Copies of this chain bind each other. A is one copy, B any other.
Amino acid sequence: MSLLLALAAAAASPAPASPPQKALAPAEIVAGAPAADWVAIAPSDLLVMDLAPHSAQRPHRVVIQLLPAPFSQGWVGNIRKLAAAHWWDGTSINRAQDNYVVQWGDPDGEDKAKAKALPATLLTVPQSEYVVADFYGREGGTADSIGYRIEKQTSRDPYAAMTTFNGGFPIAGADGNAWPIHCYGTVGVGRDMPPDTGTGAELYAVIGHAPRQLDRNIAVVGRVIEGMEHLSTLPRGTGDLGFYKTAPERTPIRSVRLGSDVPDLPRFEYLGTESASFAAYADARANRRDAFYIQPAGGVDICNVPVPIRRRK
Contacts and interface: CB of A to CB of B under 8 A. Distances in A.
A291 to B, nearest CB: 6
Contact of A233 (B194, B216, B234, B301): B234
Given A98-B228, A150-B158, A193-B291, 5 more contacts: A99-B232, A159-B298, A209-B210, A211-B304, A217-B288
B213 A297 contact: yes
Contact of A212 (B99, B130, B185, B297): B297
A258 to B, nearest CB: 25
B159 A297 contact: yes
B184 A301 contact: no
Contacts of A221: none
Interface centre among A208, A210, A297 (most CB of B within 10 A): A208
B229 A98 contact: yes
Interface centre among A213, A217, A234, A291 (most CB of B within 10 A): A213
25 contacts: A98-B232, A99-B184, A99-B185, A99-B228, A127-B294, A150-B158, A157-B158, A158-B300, A158-B301, A159-B301, A183-B209, A194-B293, A207-B232, A208-B208, A208-B209, A209-B210, A210-B304, A212-B301, A213-B293, A213-B297, A229-B235, A229-B236, A233-B233, A233-B234, A233-B235
A37 to B, nearest CB: 23
Going nearest first, the 7 A-B pairs with the smallest beta carbon separation are A156-B156, A158-B299, A154-B158, A216-B295, A229-B236, A184-B209, A158-B301
A40 interface: no
Interface string A190-218: 00011000000000000111111101110
Main secondary structure of the interface of A (DSSP, over half): loop
Interface string A273-313: 00000000000010010011111011111011010000000
Interface in A155-170: 155-160
Interface residues of A, number: 50
Nearest to A235: B233
A235 B55 CA distance: 11
Contacts of A207: 232
A176 to B, nearest CB: 16
A257 B299 CA distance: 38
Nearest to A130: B295
A158 B209 CA distance: 15
